[in-house]
Amino acid sequence: MSPPLPPNSFYLLSYPRSGNTWLLNSLGMLINCVAGEAYTQDPQLSERHGELGPDFNFRCKPLQRPDQPICIKSHDDMGVFRNQYPPAPVVYLARDARDCLLSFYFFRQAYPSLLAEQLSTTLIHGTPVQLSRGSFDPAFRAEDFADFLRLEAPLWAAHVTAARQNPSVCFVTYEELKANFVPTLNRIASFLQLPVAQPAREVDKVYHSGFAKVFSGNNRDFFRRGQVGDWKNWYQSTHVRLLDSLVGRELRELGFEPDLHWASHYTPTQPVG
């Protein structure tokens, strides 16, 4: 049995490349929480962190005060969470598989091993945020991307659906954050029942005036564009039909795609650089 977490701890779970670094930084400003990280026994994480225990491991930055909130970020799925994580409120961030998997594809090219990812802390308007430096500009290869979709799309569907079906989870989408940032942050704060350090509208101002800078320069591999619907600039018709066959039902059930025949209606465009 894992030991209990410190007071005011909560989890931020997501499938990789769903925007949880952005949300983690935003919550850090909103409720003055520190960043934590949870990980279980995984070959890649063992390579990065050394030998791990068989159950639950977590670490966080030093607290400024004993009751300071801790946001524990993880990509573990709900099955691992139920079996190995100490209880605490859960915020789950989901992203449209079409954008999420495209971003993940580019990310895995930029960082073939997690050892290649270099994290650093940058001040944006006086607020420390974690950023990552990429090593090169990844390329888009149509056949490789199709193979990637076959492997990852079912994993995305299982990961997101399990969280969506859990009534105790605060389920948020990346698209919801992009469209309605302030009310969505307020909904999360209300769910967590933690005091707000500064209004969500102030966090929104910092995001729009400062965070745009991280989408260029050395951080472009980690953040890429962050656009909703960027997949339309890259997917070929074969990718669309493949993804629809793999997770089309989940895209519709989760509200990411209202059109039952979206795959047949799709017209590819020229990929952008």
List, for residues 102-131, the tens digit of each pLDDT value. Answer: 999 988 887 665 444 454 555 544 555 555
Identify the CATH number of the domain in which residue 104 sits: 3.40.50
State residue 5's pLDDT score. Answer: 83
**Sign of the dihedral defined by the CA atoms of residues 94, 96, 97, 100, in that order:** negative
pLDDT by residue (tens digit) across 33-69?
998 887 655 444 444 444 444 556 777 888 889 899 9
* Residue 261 resides in a domain: no
Parallel/antiparallel/unpaired status of strands 34-39 and 9-14: unpaired
pTM summary value: 0.82
What DSSP element (H or E) covers 104?
helix 97-110
Look-up of token digits 């698209």: 175
* Residue 268 resides in a domain: no
* Residue 115 resides in a domain: yes
**Sign of the dihedral defined by the CA atoms of residues 154, 159, 160, 161, in that order:** positive
231: DSSP letter? G
* Residue 257 resides in a domain: no
* Residue 151 resides in a domain: no
AA identity, residue 149: L
- The number of folded domains in the chain is 1
* Residue 239 resides in a domain: no
Domain that holds residue 100: 9-146+160-228
- Gap between the Cα atoms of 93 and 188, Å rounded: 11
pLDDT by residue (tens digit) across 178-214?
999 999 999 999 999 999 998 999 988 877 665 555 5
Which structure tokens are listed for 24?
Answer: 């983690």
CA distances from 126 to 123, 129, 156 (A): 5, 9, 35
